[in-house]
Amino acid sequence: MSRYSMIIQWSDEDELFLVTIPEFSDRVIMPCTHGKTREDAIRQGEEVIEMYLEAWQAEGESIPEPSTVQVA
């Protein structure tokens, strides 16, 4: 499993859970995927993360670092 963040928000307009990946926000149109259930949205988000990382690596592009939370 990746260490990238996912923000999952319900959209009344779309009637779907929308997934945003903060670390990819300057390179990918957000939200980047969705799901009918929270679990489906998480699964879709993990697949999108893997897809982008593989594509960027294959193209020789830099890969964004995962964010970390500092707990005091």
| % helix, strand, coil for the chain, step of 5 | 35, 20, 50
Secondary structure (DSSP) of 24-58: GTTTS-SS-EEESSHHHHHHHHHHHHHHHHHHHHH
Residues 6+ apart with CB under 8 A from 42: 6, 8, 19, 35
Q: What is the pLDDT of residue 1?
A: 58
pLDDT at residue 71 greater than cutoff 90? no
Q: What is the pLDDT of residues 15-60, one digit of tens each?
A: 999 999 999 999 999 999 999 999 999 999 999 999 999 999 999 9
> What was the pLDDT predicted at 72?
77
* Confidence (pLDDT) at 51: 96
